[in-house]
Amino acid sequence: MADTARLDTGAPAAPGAVTGELPPLRAVGVHAGYGDRAVLQGVDLAVTAGRITTVVGPNGCGKSTLLRTLGRLLTPTGGHVELGGDRVAGLRPRELARRLSILPQSPVAPDGMTVRDLVERGRHPHRPWYRQWSPEDVRIAKEAMESTGVADLADRALDELSGGQRQRAWIAMTVAQQTDVVLLDEPTTHLDLAHAVDVLDLVVRLRAEGRTVVTVLHDLGLAARYSDWVVVMKDGRVRAEGPPADVLDATMLADVFGLDAHVFPDPYDALPTVVPTGHA
């Protein structure tokens, strides 16, 4: 934890760490990278249950790498990841997929695949190999489409949909997977503001259903508005973490992003608002 320097001393520690209760997802001294290129340089992070945790940081800081390592898409070269106290490295693929889902950045489906087809794939880890469909799978896929607002699009092909609709369909698939932990890698990439907000409203809904969500976001304004906990990364390390209002300030932006910005509380709801003024 030595290099997890908290910029804001007032930030409360993660409740999991205080109460001793097991965090649903935890990274312990994680190092990871691609080939010879080390990206994560010892990351310690305890994700709190039932919260939206958002990882922010400049391009190339290791946000996606951290998320991929947490979701076991990437094997750490050092340290380990725990899911509810179990090391993910030791879990069988299906077991892991019943407890944690990860939606990668800009996923691609085969041409002509319908929303319903896609959402039903979310039932894959729950279905034994000898069985095609159970009425329960059908019901859960239907509910997932309803709760994500894509039920009307069920028989439309994914490639006919707008970017926002498509992203909601992918999230519906992870909802149908019924995992307690959901990781979303830049779910708002390539979306205009209205669609991005649509998707993030959906993320809030996942939290309301009791899920633990970890996302990566680029937009600091959206991160401030939609996160319970913000993790700031730079150069493969966690530089700061805490509630958005405590973490997002002008000093941090200059230090981590090299960005000169005014940060002030929104007059309506007091959430931090970031207005860039130039480069530091």
Partner 1 sequence: MSPPDVRRRAPRQALLLVVLAAVLAAALLLSLMIGSRAIPAGDVLAALFADVDSDDATVVTSQRLPRTLVALAAGLALGAGGALMQGHTRNPLADPGLFGVNAGAAFGVAVLVFVLGVQAPAAIVLAALLGAGVAATLLFVLGLGALRGDALVMLAVLGTTLAAFLGAFTQGFVLLDRQTLDVMRFWDVGSVAGRDLSATALVLPLAVAGLVLALLNGGALSSLGLGEDVARSLGTGVLRARVVGIVAVTLLAGTTTAVCGPIGFVGLVAPHVARRFAGHDYRWIVPASALVGAVVVLVADTLGRVIAPPGELQVGIMMALVGAPVLLVITRRRRLVAL
Min. distance of Cβ 233 from partner 1 in angstroms? 20
The secondary structure element, H or E, covering residue 37 is: strand 37-47
Min. distance of Cβ 261 from partner 1 in angstroms? 33
Residues making contact with partner 1 (CB under 8 A): 68, 71-73, 93-98, 101-104, 107-113, 116-118, 120-122, 124-125, 129, 132-133, 135, 138, 141-142, 154-155, 174, 177
Residue number with CB closer to partner 1 (139 or 262): 139
Min. distance of Cβ 121 from partner 1 in angstroms? 6
Residue number with CB closer to partner 1 (107 or 258): 107
Q: Whole-angstrom Cα distance, residue 225 to residue 240?
A: 18
Chain centroid to Cα 155, Å, comes to 28
Residue number with CB closer to partner 1 (120 or 249): 120
Q: Whole-angstrom Cα distance, residue 271 to residue 131?
A: 49
Min. distance of Cβ 132 from partner 1 in angstroms? 5
Do residues 183 and 101 make contact, with C-beta atoms less than 8 angstroms apart?
A: yes
Residue number with CB closer to partner 1 (133 or 264): 133
| Non-local CB neighbours of 128 within 8 Å, separated by 6+ positions | none
138: left (phi over 0), alpha (psi -120 to 50) or beta: alpha
Min. distance of Cβ 50 from partner 1 in angstroms? 21
H-only helix segments in 75-158 = 93-99, 115-121, 135-147
Residue number with CB closer to partner 1 (113 or 245): 113
Helix, coil or strand: residue 2: coil
Residue number with CB closer to partner 1 (87 or 262): 87
Show the tokens assigned to 174.
């992870």
Show the tokens assigned to 217.
């976001």
Q: Whole-angstrom Cα distance, residue 153 to residue 190?
A: 21
* Residue with the two structure tokens 């059908």: 138
Min. distance of Cβ 151 from partner 1 in angstroms? 12
Residue number with CB closer to partner 1 (20 or 93): 93
* Half-sphere exposure for 15 (CA within 13 Å, toward CB): 8
Min. distance of Cβ 177 from partner 1 in angstroms? 7
β-bridge mates for residue 253, sequence order: none
Neighbours of 19 (CB within 10 A): 8
